[in-house]
Amino acid sequence: MKTSIESTSSDDATALSDYSSTLPENLPTWMKNQKAQSFGLKSLTALYTLILTIVAFIIEISPTWQSDAMHIEYTIFCVLMYSIAILYFIYLYTVILYPIVFNTILLYLERMHVLSVHSIKRWMRPEPVFTGEGAGTLYLRLGTLLFGTLGSVLWGSEIFLCFFTNARHNIYVIKYIFAFVFTYMQMHFLCCNSKIDLPKNSFIASFGMMHCIAVNLWVWFSLCLAKAVYKSDKKTLKLQKNEEKWKKKNMTLADAVVEVVTTTVAYIVTEGEGDFSASEKQLRSLYKLGSAANFLLTTLVEFSLIAAAVYFIIWKHEGEEKPQEQRKKHVRFDCKSTSVGIFAALVLLIGSFVSISMHYIYNNSDKPRVADEVIGIAETVLFCVTLLAVFAAFVRMRKLQYRLHAHGQVVDEILLIVGLAGEIVYCSTGLDLYLNERLTNMQGTSCLTVVAFVFRIVQVVVQSVFILVASRLRSLSASNVLNQPGKQIITFLVVCNINLFIYHTFETIESNFGFPHKMASVYSALLNMSSPLVVFYRFHSSACLAEIWKHAYSTKYNHSHHHVHKPLEDHHIA
Query: pLDDT tens digits, residue range 139-152?
Result: 778 788 888 888 88
Q: Which residue type does 348 have?
A: L
Q: If you average pLDDT over residues 238-267, what whole number do you get?
A: 54
Question: What does the pLDDT look like over 292-311, one tens digit per residue?
Answer: 777 888 889 889 988 998 89
Q: How confident is the model at residue 261 (pLDDT cuts 50, 70, 90)?
A: very low
What's the CA gap between 159 and 162, in Å, rounded? Answer: 5
8 Å CB contact between 429 and 484:
no
What's the CA gap between 413 and 431, in Å, rounded? Answer: 27
Distances (CA, A) of 154 to 67, 179, 325: 24, 10, 37
pLDDT of residue 53: 94
Q: If you average pLDDT over residues 327-343, what whole number do you get?
A: 59
Q: How confident is the model at residue 499 (pLDDT cuts 50, 70, 90)?
A: confident
Q: Which helix (H) or strand (E) holds 284?
A: helix 284-289
Q: How confident is the model at residue 367 (pLDDT cuts 50, 70, 90)?
A: confident
pLDDT of residue 272: 41
**196 backbone dihedrals φ, ψ, rounded to 5°:** -65, 140
Q: Is 541 exposed, middle or buried (0-12, 13-18, 19+ CB in 10 A)?
A: buried
Q: What residue ranges do the domains of the chain occupy?
A: 40-252, 334-552
What's the CA gap between 79 and 450, in Å, rounded? Answer: 45
8 Å CB contact between 294 and 286:
yes
Strands (E), 29-108: none
Question: What does the pLDDT look like over 441-452, one tens digit per residue?
Answer: 755 567 888 888
| Residue 274 Ramachandran class (φ > 0 left, ψ -120 to 50 alpha, else beta) | left
Question: What does the pLDDT look like over 213-227, one tens digit per residue?
Answer: 999 999 999 988 888
Look at residue 541 and tell me whether its pLDDT is greater than 80: yes
pLDDT of residue 242: 62
Q: How confident is the model at residue 385 (pLDDT cuts 50, 70, 90)?
A: very high
Of 18-22, 191-195, 257-261, 301-305, the range with the lowest mean pLDDT is 257-261
Look at residue 165 and tell me whether its pLDDT is greater than 60: yes
Q: How confident is the model at residue 159 (pLDDT cuts 50, 70, 90)?
A: confident
Residues of the chain with pLDDT > 70: what percent? 73
Pick from 354, 359, 302: nearest CA to 144: 302
Pick from 294, 56, 99: nearest CA to 196: 99
**76 backbone dihedrals φ, ψ, rounded to 5°:** -60, -40
Question: What does the pLDDT look like over 529-538, one tens digit per residue?
Answer: 888 888 889 8
Look at residue 178 and tell me whether its pLDDT is greater than 80: yes
What's the CA gap between 259 and 261, in Å, rounded? Answer: 6
- Residues paired with residue 179 on neighbouring β-strands, in sequence order: none
Look at residue 48 and tell me whether its pLDDT is greater than 90: yes
Q: How confident is the model at residue 267 (pLDDT cuts 50, 70, 90)?
A: very low
User: pTM (2 decimals)?
Assistant: 0.72
- Residues paired with residue 196 on neighbouring β-strands, in sequence order: 130
What's the CA gap between 508 and 531, in Å, rounded? Answer: 6
Q: If you average pLDDT over residues 190-201, what whole number do you get?
A: 81
- Give the sign of the dihedral formed by CA 387, CA 392, CA 397, CA 398: positive
Q: How confident is the model at residue 106 (pLDDT cuts 50, 70, 90)?
A: confident
Highest mean pLDDT (candidates 138-142, 320-324, 349-353, 431-435): 431-435
In 399-477, which residue ranges form alpha helices assigned H by DSSP?
Answer: 410-440, 448-470
What's the CA gap between 492 and 546, in Å, rounded? Answer: 10
